[in-house]
Structure 1
């Protein structure tokens, strides 16, 4: 392994707090649980007439176009760490889902924002507000890329058809008890159990960013929208599970999931156990990227990932292609799902560096 400060963990779990999709009925692999199991096993309301527990639909998670994942990491003999990776698109979705999943917000010691887009930052202030209302006295670090844009939008044929809502400001974060911490370089957090990347090298020919992405600039008295397809502030997160390999969180993959995987393999020389998050393969403009992406993950990366969880902006066509190539290794994950895995120090003896063809 490269000499980077990432320690392997004995326990890893993730709860999906925000995602586009809700999936209650599909069979999931071992270690995964549906949201409904929690509702029916933790003092559900009971029907006075039949004595049966209610399926409390008023208080279940809602889907929203965005992403947020609560990550728990622990090394045996040490305290667990809780990291919130992104916060979804709006104040209401994260508030409803935090309540539905009974998230202990006071345990969250750090929010990591993958990149400055409102579908990932829009719930941040709401989450900090909930945390403050619960009278949490410990500070919550908010891990941000320093290059916060004034505004971002999408253009079609040179015309800006819409701009994203404002990202939280540093002052707004401070006012709600958050502690902004800016990082342009890769760094370890959560007791060195989570790695937050720096700039992701763009080395894959077909991964050319987000078509039509633009950024509002104010320089030398001039203001205008300028092309910004590469979204260079995007970062991924990595966790190394003993005896398993790396779990990668790529919230939107504007850099390209192949570029993300290549960077993680180069840095850590560890097999990829799990890939989680938006793969940004939805939409007609990105259809040509699906086949080479699936080919890389299924056939060129050795060993292939044990699980790929295509979420948020991955798109239906990409999910179908990944399921065809990976079978049950493609997991139909969604909001409210939880995954837990225990590391295996003995199995670590048989884990070998990966290769990329």
Structure 2
């Protein structure tokens, strides 16, 4: 069986720019770093003249928001690549947090949008504008890696409300708006490698499980008669959703699944089938929050902890994962379930010595 061309990386650094949660005090595993120590260790941190102690400058620390964004910095050989996976829900949180964490925005080569929902796309135009205004004119343009099927509108029609559409999401960025701010639009429906060939962006995620049924409240506006008429249609399967994966030498795959509308088990199954590599870390929204999705938690946790072999070393349930899912994952994985949040930094160092000892995962 042939696998897509996909380079392994020697080192991976992940910085969470947007997430629902701010977590400063929980014990973290080795190579996971809280936000506050990162600020206090900087040479330019403001200090109190009287005591000589650095200020905990909360005015300029990260804020939480209902959405997700991760800065991926991977090193393959000597050349680092910076990729932004999603941009959060709004124009304010992404810019505040980029500035708080001193992100070198001129080096961000690409924005990967996981799917067309505004809690993931809402900060894209603000980021591109911030980059355009604050970078030298000769800065290389930033690519916006997008699924071509951009919806006219998406809404929320909860089962608990009898399927009534109770609200619509704000517009996702338009292709022409992205280009007007200097972004280079790339439309991809198929899987492809970016960032020097070391970040894999999936194509359509196959739906193969029996218990992961998409987004029960999802609806989409569809126009008819040349736009003169339209209607809301049910859209449980968010088929434009994509995940990203990086293979770290001697560790395995690090998977970014921003919302897991396809189901995180479907995501993991596709990654294992595509690359025949073990899963080292799962990051992002698992979409198990809320009463409509509670029944999916036990089979999801059972698959990840008991059926997938080897099991992931770390799971970082973020954004839309929900409290009940986090508790269940902690019971199954212990300290391998990490309470990550905005401002955290994670470093994954490759290990060439263990690479030759690794075996592809197999399911029971």
* TM-score class normalised by the smaller sequence: over 0.9
TM-superposed deviation, 1:49: 2.3
Is 1:160 matched up with 2:165?
A: yes
3-state SS of the aligned residue for 1:318? helix
Partner of 2:179: 174
Q: Does 1:313 align with 2:320?
A: yes
- The equivalent of 1:356 in structure 2 is 363
Q: So what's the TM-score if we normalise by structure 1?
A: 0.98
Alignment correspondent of 2:289 = 282
Work out the CA distance in 2 between the residues paired with 1:279 and 1:89.
17
CA distance in 2, matches of 1:298, 1:131: 41
Unaligned runs of 5+ in 1: none
Looking at structure 2, the residues matched to 17 and 343 of structure 1 have their Cα atoms a distance apart, in angstroms, of: 23
Moved over 3 A (4+): none
Structure 1 position 212 matched with structure 2 position 217 = yes
The SS at the match of 1:14 is strand
Task: Select which of 193, 196, 206 maps to 1:191.
Answer: 196
| 1:158 CA drift (Å) | 2.5
Partner Cα distance (2:225, 2:295) in 1: 39
Corresponding residue of 2:249: 242
The residue aligned with 1:69 is 70
**Count of residues paired in the alignment:** 356
Is 1:11 aligned to 2:19, yes or no?
no
Maintained 8 Å contact 1:83/1:110: yes
CA distance in 1 between partners of 2:117 and 2:95 (Å): 19
Deviation at 1:2, TM superposition (A): 3.8
SS at match of 1:350: coil
Q: Structure 2: which 5+ residue stretches go unaligned?
A: none
Query: What is the CA–CA distance in structure 1 between the aligned matches of 2:278 and 2:106, rounded to whole Å?
Result: 33
- Tell me the SS of whatever aligns to 1:281: coil
Residue 101 (structure 2) aligns with: 101
Moved more, 138-147 or 126-135: 126-135
SS in 1 for 2:189: coil
Greater mean alpha carbon deviation, residues 237-246 or residues 340-349: 340-349
Residue aligning to 1:49: 50
> Hey, what's the Cα distance between the residues in 2 that align with 1:122 and 1:322?
29
Q: Could you tell me how far 1:45 is from its partner in structure 2?
A: 1.3
1:293 matched residue in structure 2:
300
- Taking only aligned residues, the RMSD between alpha carbons, in angstroms, comes to 0.9
SS in 2 for 1:340: strand
